[in-house]
Each structure stands twice: as structure tokens, then as C-alpha cells.
Amino acid sequence: LIEGNALINALTAAHQHINKENESKPLSNKGGASVLVGALAENVMSFITTGNCTLYLYRKGKITNVILPDSLNFLCRDQFVGHRSSIPLSGLGLFEDVHYYLREIKIAEGDILIFLTDGIFSYVDENEIKYAVEKNADQEVEILKTLVKMANDRGNLDNQTGLVLQF
């Protein structure tokens, strides 16, 4: 879709901009970012991601991981040390080339999308995400508060970002 093409162009431009900013900086001062962005057109949502972000879809009582993080976490899949393997394999400004993943899904009424960074997803599993959604069904902020509390109670020291969209 045209929205997917727009997302690819925006991600590529952002990557080039950050790389240009990083050129003159010492390694310890260079910046980078993991990104997960969506664009909705009618009932189709296009997503583009690079780095340490993931997306879950809650639909009719079932939780599905729609986008896996591009990190060592994906390769390791060890549920007991997920936070130790959440090192991004790609990201904006981190490497010369950016590796991205584009996905499009149809959205249905009642769907809930849960966008998470590694400060949350590497400390919780799919069943806990499902629990947080079902416990706080119509309260997006409470879903995130539940997940952040779980992650922090398990020793998280990383930054945390999450977004919940209900349709």
C-alpha cells in the first residue's frame, strides 16, 4: 500500500539524518533508536519497525505477537534472561544500513494493539500481556501501568515505552 511506501521513505530519511548527525561524534556520543510506527488506511494498518520493539494483537480473547523485535532476544528466546539478550541488531543511526520489517494487517472492531519496547516486553510474556489487557479491558493507561509494574518488579532498569490502541 502507499502507506507502507511512505513509512519506508520516512524511516530511511530518519536513518540518513541520524547517521549524518553521528558522523562527527565519538562513539560514546552517537545516538540511535528503535522504532515501530503504524499508519491506518480504512481497515488496513501498515507497520514498519527496526530494532527493539514488538507489537501484540489482542483479538477475541487471543493474543498474537504480530511483530518480533530485531534483537538477540528473538534469536535466544530464553524466557528467563530475555532482558540480557535485548540487544538490537538494527536501528536508526546504529549501523551504516538500516534493516527494517514492514507488515500490513487488517484491523477488526474490538481489536487491541499493544506496542512495546524492550524495557517492558523482555520482562513479561504473552500470557501476562493477555492478563493485563483482560484485567483492564477499556483502560489503555491501566494496561500499560500493569505491564510496566511487572517489568519494574522484575528488576528493569531500561527505559520503557508502550502504546495501546483500541478499535
Q: Give CA–CA dist 38/28, Å, rounded.
A: 31
pTM for the structure as a whole:
0.86
Mean pLDDT over all residues of the chain? 88
Residue 64: predicted pLDDT = 95
Residue pLDDT, tens place only, 108-156: 999 999 999 888 998 899 999 999 999 988 899 999 999 999 999 998 8
Q: Is the dihedral of CA 16, 92, 36, 140 positive or negative?
A: negative
Q: Give CA–CA dist 26/90, Å, rounded.
A: 19
Residue 31: predicted pLDDT = 86
Q: At 104, which amino acid appears?
A: E
Residue pLDDT, tens place only, 83-119: 555 676 777 887 888 889 999 999 999 999 999 988 8
The better pLDDT of the pair 78, 16 is held by 16
CA-closest candidate to residue 70, choices 92, 45, 40, 96: 92
Residue 93: predicted pLDDT = 85
Q: Decide if 143 contacts 136 (C-beta within 8 A).
A: yes
Exposure on the CB side of residue 164, measured as CA atoms within 13 A: 22
pLDDT bin (cut points 50, 70, 90) of residue 27 is: confident
